[in-house]
Structure 1
Amino acid sequence: MSDERLHASVLVTPDAERRRLRKERRQAAEQLRYQARAREHAEKKARLDAERQERLSTVYLPRAGEAGAEMLRTPGRFRLPKHQDTSAVVSGQYPFLAEAGLGSDGCYIGQDLYSGASFVYDPWTLYARGAITAPNIVIAGIVGSGKSALVKSLYTRSLSFGRRVYIPGDPKGEHTPVAELVGGKAIILGRGQSQRLNPLDEGYRAAGISDHDWAVQVTGRRRELVGSLAETMLDRPLTPLEHTCIDHALTTVMRASKTPILPQVVSEILDPSPGTGSSTDARMREDGRQLGHALRRLVSGDLQGVFDGPSTVKFDPSLPMISLDLSRMVDNAALTSVLMTCSSAWMEGALLDPAGGQRYLIYDEAWRLMAYPSLLRRMDQQWRLARHYGIANCLVFHKLSDLDNVGDAGSANRALANSLLANAETRIIYRQETDQLGTTAQALGLTGTEQSLLPGLGIGQGLWKIKGRSFLTQHMLHPAELEAFDTRSKMLG
């Protein structure tokens, strides 16, 4: 037991030692804060000294100006008088009050009535800049508001930019003198005229299309045209049996002639060539009797001598302007619509050239075409392909309520007509009567302020709606243009 030793260790730190460590930590923290405050004080003092030196080195002008000759010093305080003026005058000093406009690339239209600046427009330039996604145009205005002069100046001024103009149907003949004036051609159609158009012409053939594919395209286009004409003349949709009669007639005629004409097709429908058997031929003759007699009116009735033979004129795409004058045939609205369909089909075949350049296609009195479902479908197809062929379609109305004649409310035809407006991002509205404001505002999406402007617009003044942007413009004409475009000469004497 005497050799054993006891060993002990401290398991708990005494309280006196903890207090000492805490004191040391507090002193170290206080030392750090003191050093931080000292640095901040030194930085602040250096900054204040620098500012003081800058103030001492800066020269301040006296309130009344420097003393001495030619210092413009005044004995009293200079005060500017208050000035009040209109925004039209102040816009020169405060340009942010005015719309920036569409730029300077394009055709001069006139003056922006809000800013006083020049108003310039070109659908292809705006499309290239991404300002619009559809080059089509809708123009509406009552008689005498100046919309006709706007259309003519728009396409004639575009000729210097390399554009071309095609008018597939001019019911009033007012574009004929303009076409002759600019070096273009006006084709006058009607009873007693020597010129004929064959709407069943093959049309333009793009490079690289095989003979088989080309034959399929031509046959389909001819079948669609004859069907549209038949529906218009019958004023009802075709039956499946009547479609078969058209297919049989076209196939037979095209087998015998490379370029068929309407009289051959009508004759084949009324008296089918024997081939499949006497009973079948007799049944086809009976099924196509109403169809054939309806189409016969185009070649032996009211329109005889217009579309009943080979074309006597050739479409020349190098001309700056081509217009089809239908003014000799405006005595019957239904026949005028058929006439515009045939003429537009003849011109359409020559326009289907993607390398043909940028072209205006003007549809004057557009409501005549839109009243017929078959013709409306053809227009819709053309509008959807406008960008592919570089074409800017332009519809001209008197008033937007003309669309109420297109089918019943909520019908497919009414929806199709409204889609034409939706695919036109340039909408130009000239003066409208008070009873037309609601229809116009609803169709074109006008605000209350824009709607209130329409009844008070003067001649040549129009509201331009271009993809959400609005411009109030005054169309301006050169005296030579005014003389060429004036449609009031007969009224003025």
Structure 2
Amino acid sequence: MTRKAPRTPAVPLAPAWGWRGRGLGRAANIPTGMSYQGTTTQVCGLFPYVAGSGSPVTGVPIGRHMLWGEVVCMDPLAWMRAGLTTNPGIFLVGQPGSGKSAITKRLVMGMTSFGTRALILGDTKGEYTRLVEYLGGQVIRVGRGLDTINPLDAGPLGQAMARMTGREAERLRLEIRGRRLDLLIALCTLVRGGPVKNVEHVILGRALDILTSKLDRDPTIPDVLALIRECPAELLDAAWTDNAESYMDSARDMVFTLTLLCDGSLKGLFDGPTTTAVNLDAPAVSMDISALAGAGDTLVAAAMLCCWAYGYACVDAAAALAEQGLAPQRTFLAILDELWRVIRGAPGLVELADALTRLNRHLGMASLMSTHSVIDLEALGRDEDKAKAKGFIERAAIVIMAGLPAKEVERIREIMLLTDPEAGLVRSWAAPETWLPGAVHPGRGKYLIKTGERIGIPVELSLVDDESWLYDTDAAVRLLQASTG
């Protein structure tokens, strides 16, 4: 059987840009065609072979899919309700300048528009203040001569308990006691740079019980210190002794630790009643601790721990009131920035931070933890602390990666599944080794969103309208350059 030669068209096909020559329609430039967007249900009538990327369209528009051009949306609470994820936790990691703040603020802006309340629990740079004020939210400025946080304040939990009776009131009372004790031990661990002994733990717990029964207000750290120094019979019994001298041998280190919290470098911050309560009706609340930025890592870590504990207590109170029909159901997004500052404060703080911030999907709360390096989670002295720190990533249903160098990507691959193309994409966004002045981070605004073992979603965020100045974290640097140059 012989094949027929291909048929030659009678008229030759024109080149892409047209024929060369005068009057022959040669185009010097071909403009890009108009781009339209629609759902596969609509567009299939025009072209039946359209297939989308499968990216979620539920939640806040984050940006466009870098391969398909579709809009990618994200909302950790909505994704969990839709069965896409198992919990509403987000872990964000990326180099400085890669755009971690931009995607976080986009989530804050979008989720508050959908009715979720944002809690920025410890803004170390004051970079969320402008956005929260723009949203009509509340800014609490913590610092010497500014707002004070009482680590032992029952806050909204205490208000909720006052409105309840029976078993539910008793449950909240125990919850308040546990949170007070956990935070007090965390602060003591941080200040002394080491763990609290078992006998000290028992003495602190008993002291809180005594003060709670005697006082008609929330106890403070100076109250605990004064009671321990008084050596009452209840505390002697807690220390398993009837001798004051033996008791003081057990309590002496704790006395000095509590004194540092009241009269040391932390004086004026955590040794009095809370001055400004969190407004749960505000669309967003920021606890701005930027006034403490130059006061040392210990002070900043202590402030962050207090902000975390107070914020989570607010969420617990809102959930408890909603369960009893005493308040409307609320959803929250907690922002826990610069995680490394707390967990590296002292051995054992990872476990206490984990206890304070462990996700509870039943509370209608999402959380976003961020750091700029996985090394921060590994640079801990004890192996058990390193394992618990990596657990922050393992437990988060959504992991967002901005630009990261090769070593960082390999560390992440030890914790979660990451394909070779995905790893290469994240590495390609890392900052180049160049000295070119004014160069923009090559990965700025580019992210890989991973959920479990699904293929990651590469997305690029573009700022619109007021976002350019609301999300700007470099304004202070440019202002300094302008004043000096």
Q: TM-score range by the shorter chain?
A: 0.7 to 0.9
1:423-442 correspondence runs (5 A): 423-442=395-414
Q: Counterpart of 2:221?
A: 262
The 8 Å contact of residues 145 and 268 in structure 2, kept in 1 or not, is answered as yes
Q: Counterpart of 1:488?
A: 474
Matches of 2:9 and 2:462, distance apart in 1: 52
Deviation of 1:318 after TM superposition, in Å, equals: 0.4
The 8 Å contact of residues 427 and 466 in structure 1, kept in 2 or not, is answered as yes
2:299 maps to 1:335 = yes
With normalisation by structure 2, the TM-score equals 0.77
Cα–Cα, structure 1 residues 146 and 280, in superposed 2: closer, same or farther, change >3 Å?
same
Cα–Cα, structure 1 residues 386 and 213, in superposed 2: closer, same or farther, change >3 Å?
closer
The 8 Å contact of residues 383 and 420 in structure 1, kept in 2 or not, is answered as no
Matches of 1:228 and 1:490, distance apart in 2: 33
2:215 maps to 1:230 = no
Matches of 1:423 and 1:473, distance apart in 2: 23
Cα–Cα, structure 1 residues 283 and 186, in superposed 2: closer, same or farther, change >3 Å?
same
Deviation of 1:390 after TM superposition, in Å, equals: 0.9
Deviation of 1:100 after TM superposition, in Å, equals: 2.0
The 8 Å contact of residues 193 and 347 in structure 2, kept in 1 or not, is answered as no
2:203 maps to 1:242 = no
2:339 maps to 1:366 = yes
Deviation of 1:79 after TM superposition, in Å, equals: 11
SS of residue in 1 equivalent to 2:140? strand
Per-residue Cα deviation, 1:457-491 (whole angstroms, up to 9, x for no partner): 22101111123231111112113111111011123
SS of residue in 2 equivalent to 1:469? coil
Matches of 2:311 and 2:380, distance apart in 1: 25
The 8 Å contact of residues 394 and 415 in structure 2, kept in 1 or not, is answered as no
Where does the alignment leave 5 or more consecutive residues of structure 2 unmatched?
1-7, 17-34, 323-328, 430-442, 480-485
Identity %: 27
Q: In the comparison of the two structures, how many residue pairs are matched?
A: 409
Cα–Cα, structure 1 residues 129 and 81, in superposed 2: closer, same or farther, change >3 Å?
farther
After TM superposition, the structure 1 stretch with the greater mean CA deviation from structure 2, 369-378 or 169-178, is: 369-378
Residue identity matched to 1:242: E
Matches of 1:169 and 1:479, distance apart in 2: 27
Matches of 2:176 and 2:104, distance apart in 1: 33
Q: 1:478 aligns with which of 459, 464, 475?
A: 464
Q: Counterpart of 1:283?
A: 246
SS of residue in 2 equivalent to 1:143? coil
The 8 Å contact of residues 200 and 346 in structure 1, kept in 2 or not, is answered as no
Residue identity matched to 1:313: T
Where does the alignment leave 5 or more consecutive residues of structure 1 unmatched?
1-74, 84-88
The 8 Å contact of residues 135 and 392 in structure 1, kept in 2 or not, is answered as yes
Q: 1:118 aligns with which of 55, 71, 85?
A: 71
Q: Counterpart of 1:65?
A: none
2:244 maps to 1:272 = no
Q: 2:313 aligns with which of 342, 349, 353?
A: 349
Q: 1:199 aligns with which of 148, 151, 161?
A: 151
Deviation of 1:443 after TM superposition, in Å, equals: 3.1
SS of residue in 1 equivalent to 2:267? coil
Q: 1:396 aligns with which of 346, 350, 370?
A: 370
Per-residue Cα deviation, 1:23-58 (whole angstroms, up to 9, x for no partner): xxxxxxxxxxxxxxxxxxxxxxxxxxxxxxxxxxxx
Q: Counterpart of 1:319?
A: 282
Deviation of 1:407 after TM superposition, in Å, equals: 4.0
Structure of higher CA gyration radius = 1
2:136 maps to 1:165 = no
Cα–Cα, structure 1 residues 163 and 269, in superposed 2: closer, same or farther, change >3 Å?
same
Q: 2:379 aligns with which of 405, 418, 422?
A: 405
Matches of 1:469 and 1:357, distance apart in 2: 32
The 8 Å contact of residues 274 and 281 in structure 1, kept in 2 or not, is answered as no
Matches of 2:107 and 2:170, distance apart in 1: 41
Deviation of 1:267 after TM superposition, in Å, equals: 2.1
After TM superposition, the structure 1 stretch with the greater mean CA deviation from structure 2, 232-241 or 390-399, is: 232-241
Matches of 1:183 and 1:385, distance apart in 2: 27
Residue identity matched to 2:335: I
Deviation of 1:97 after TM superposition, in Å, equals: 6.3
Matches of 1:321 and 1:76, distance apart in 2: 68
Q: Counterpart of 2:90?
A: 137
Per-residue Cα deviation, 1:427-480 (whole angstroms, up to 9, x for no partner): 111111234232233234221111111232221011111232311111121131
